[in-house]
Chains A and B, each alone.
Chain A
Amino acid sequence: MEETANRDAAVQQLTDVMWKFTAYIGKRLPTDVTAKLADLRSKETHPLAAAVYQSMKENQEAADRLDRPSCQDTGVIQYFINAGARFPLLGELEDILRNATLEATRQGPLRHNAVETFDEKNTGTNTGSKIPWLDWEIDPKGDSATIDVYMAGGGCTLPGAAKVLMPGEGYEGVAEFVFDVITSRGVNACPPMLVGVGVSTSAETAARLSKKAILRPVDSRHPNANAARMEELLEEGLNEVGLGPQGLTGNASVMGVNIESSARHPSTIGVAVSTGCWAHRRGRIRINADLSYEILSHEGVAL
């Protein structure tokens, strides 16, 4: 009996942390993104682009001051979970995150974005079938859980694309695919974007990795030297195109390019691109076995 009560209290405690964290990341950008935007803003020389960067800065300050979501499109909530097999609330986590989404929607507030597919009805709660979307990785030995919350708007989700190349197309085909996606559809995704590229074996493995790539810190590099070089080349090359904020022309196009990869079939190169807009609302939190927590993405947070 006492054990059940303790468990219920623990579930409530973690639900509170997760709804507050979910609502919070809609209001303040992660520390690495804020720093990158300040850097790009300081280097911008085109007057129109500089004016847009100024609006972006004023917006973040207003969101902070008024405690409101900085972009109206608070997305369909996605959680990327890396949980230890011995994390005490592993079995409860799905319900906890669903309830966290409900509560963040009420109290955030978050825009009502979940539309039930085929019924074409907005659920009004940001929950629906398989939403919030949960992506699971289990660490067989761990007892903590690290959770990324991601809030992607429609604009930065629309350019998403994946395809499978023939090996003869090589990494040159990968570079061309990335450029095509960004120069043809990136303007609408609120540049400067964070570009995530998955290089893998099939459409869905590449797609999942491309999303994981934009959850990494903006300036991080792939551990493989060739991949890291490709990240640099794509980043420099895309910036040379000079989309500028909102595609109005400027000194930069992207905040960065991150590649994630897996081994692949010798006959295929799966490639996918996911983009994160300048208002890249993601947050990473680590929950320990005793439910104490540490926020890894944002400095100076009080939930």
Chain B
Amino acid sequence: MSTQKKILTTPIKDEDLAELNVGDVVYLTGQLVTCRDVAHRRLIELGRDLPVNLEGGAIFHAGPIVRQKDDGSYEMVSIGPTTSMRMEKFEREFIARTGVKLVVGKGGMGAETAAGCLENKAVHAIFPGGCAVLAATQVEEIEDAQWKDLGMPETLWVNRVREFGPLIISIDTKGRNLIDENKARFNEKKKPILERINREVRFIK
């Protein structure tokens, strides 16, 4: 896999994403900004401008552990993805308003985000959950921190990353949604399995 590593570089252009399909594995080099619940609410619901330009950019649904060094600069300790579905309510409009091209998180997102990806030629990708030190080792530097009033998990941490990944494309620019497709299959498989189990667990006679 490593011999043909597909690397995206910010600013990401439409054509960089056009050939990507769900299930593809890519890596990111450039700028990656953490952005989660409250930042989404502030932009969409409270109408505040984001303090970071995301045109052609990448966001990471993540709340890291950051250590401040004696010289005042920051060190990334651990930064794994958080549940993307929490941002579903906002993401379609978020993508349209900011021009963000790559949304990274964990788990899938819903139909609204998939529509937003289709309309604005953006993608959602999954970084393996819980792999927070692996991710931190791919952060070269924390370049900036905005909205620090939100506390460590919710601050917009502006990271310079190198070959950040693996990033598994879960929503592509054609609007395909890998996790939604998987969930439909899981739910179909569930029924006969439960029928079988339920024949054995009639403990109340």
Residues of A bordering B, CB below 8 Å? 48, 51-52, 55-56, 58-59, 62-63, 66, 68-74, 109-113, 115, 122, 124, 153-155, 158, 167, 170-172, 174-176, 179, 183-184, 187-188, 190, 226, 229-230, 233-234, 237, 240-243, 245-249, 277-279
B168 contacts the other chain (CB 8 A): yes
Query: Which chain A residues lie closer than 8 Å to B193 at the CB level?
Result: 179, 237, 240-241
B99 contacts the other chain (CB 8 A): no
Query: Which chain A residues lie closer than 8 Å to B133 at the CB level?
Result: 59, 62-63, 66, 68-70
Look across to chain B and name the residue whose beta carbon is closest to the beta carbon of A26: B78
Q: How far is the CA of A214 from the CA of B85 in the complex (A)?
A: 24
Chain B binding surface SS class: mixed
How many A-B residue pairs lie within 8 Å, measured between CB atoms?
Answer: 185
**When A and B form their complex, which 8 residue pairs have the shortest distance between CB atoms, in order from nearest?**
A122-B151, A188-B107, A279-B130, A59-B131, A190-B129, A72-B78, A72-B132, A172-B198
Query: Which chain A residues lie closer than 8 Å to B63 at the CB level?
Result: 72-73, 111
Q: With A72-B65, A241-B189 given, is the CB distance from A62 to B134 under 8 Å?
A: yes
B158 contacts the other chain (CB 8 A): no
Q: Quick one: which of A68, A154, A248 contacts B168, CB cutoff 8 A? A: A248
Stretch at the interface among B10-18, B48-56, B180-188: B180-188
Q: Quick one: which of B82, B132, B168 contacts A70, CB cutoff 8 A? A: B132
Q: Quick one: which of B1, B79, B129, B130 contacts A51, CB cutoff 8 A? A: B1
B129 contacts A277, C-beta separation under 8 Å:
yes
Query: Which chain B residues lie closer than 8 Å to A66 at the CB level?
Result: 133, 137
Residues of B bordering A, CB below 8 Å? 1, 23, 25, 62-65, 67, 77-80, 82-85, 106-108, 126, 128-134, 136-137, 150-154, 166, 168, 178-179, 182-183, 185-187, 189-190, 193-194, 196-198, 200-204
Q: With A68-B133, A122-B151, A179-B194 given, is the CB distance from A48 to B168 under 8 Å?
A: yes
Shortest Cβ gap from B74 to chain A (Å): 12
Q: With A175-B198, A248-B168, A277-B130 given, is the CB distance from A241 to B190 under 8 Å?
A: yes
Look across to chain B and name the residue whose beta carbon is closest to the beta carbon of A113: B153
Q: How far is the CA of A215 from the CA of B200 in the complex (A)?
A: 27
Shortest Cβ gap from B192 to chain A (Å): 9
Query: Which chain B residues lie closer than 8 Å to A176 at the CB level?
Result: 194, 198
B128 contacts A247, C-beta separation under 8 Å:
no
Q: How far is the CA of A56 from the CA of B108 in the complex (A)?
A: 19
Shortest Cβ gap from A246 to chain B (Å): 6
Look across to chain B and name the residue whose beta carbon is closest to the beta carbon of A244: B182
A56 contacts B128, C-beta separation under 8 Å:
yes
Shortest Cβ gap from B67 to chain A (Å): 6
Shortest Cβ gap from A245 to chain B (Å): 7
